[in-house]
Amino acid sequence: MDSAPGNLSLKFGLIGRHIDYSFSRSYFTEKFKSEGLSHSYVNFDIADLTKFKAIIKYTPHLKGLNVTIPYKEQIIPLLDALDTAAQEIGAVNTIKIGADNALKGFNTDYIGFKNSLKPYLNKHHDRALILGTGGASKAVAYSLKQLDIAFSFASRQPKHHLDYNYHDLNETIITNHTIIINCTPLGTFPRIEECPDIPYEFINNKHLLYDLIYNPKETKFLMYGKSHGANTINGLNMLKLQAEAAWDIWNTPNSF
């Protein structure tokens, strides 16, 4: 799609499972409408990745895909190439489709996260606690490295190379990690009563709580943080920024 004319109708889409809620579809549909483009954006809701190659082969004028849970890591072996960031992160959320249906994976999650976090940072925000260990958490970790912010991982399930389980978290650990980022799906609509099981009582007004979830606008994780004086951010701006970064990739001639 390197130099596709504006009146050429191209197709883009989202690969994932249980994605009726899709931010991407509504965002790009509105974008195409507002910019007078005849492109379309569809959800490819698949139970597993065995159908992925058929989607690529049999969907006419398909030029770009976003990838969401649970396929950001699983999809990598099915691609022909990765850009440097996606390779280092180990997760892909954007695919560019080139000549002969060649597939290159990118990660724009880290761009969206980094650029949405930066305006909120103060000098004391020098260490972060990442909740969750999935593909999104890897992009967050990559962003924090770029921002020179130290980080640790925590999860409710014991995992190899994990810094903390939730039950390990105490006042000292919470106090020392002035940024806490929820990279889990806990709290996503409709299961809005859920949240990571961490000791919120140790959060204070020096903390910055970031939830990658955008629906609901304020999760229980963020509510608890705010009630203890923390500054809070949801994931909506991150999603907008990563979507625009994906659009740039799909429209950049040398991005393949």
Could you list the active site residues? Answer: 72
Residue type, 199: P
Q: What is the DSSP letter of 47?
A: S
User: Which one, of 127, 202, 133, lies nearest residue 169 by Cα?
Assistant: 202
Q: How many angstroms separate the CA atoms of 215 and 213, rounded?
A: 6
Strands of 38-165 (E only): list them.
Answer: 40-45, 62-67, 81-82, 94-97, 103-106, 127-131, 150-155, 164-165
CA dist 134 and 140 (Å) reads: 10
Strand partners, 96: 64, 104
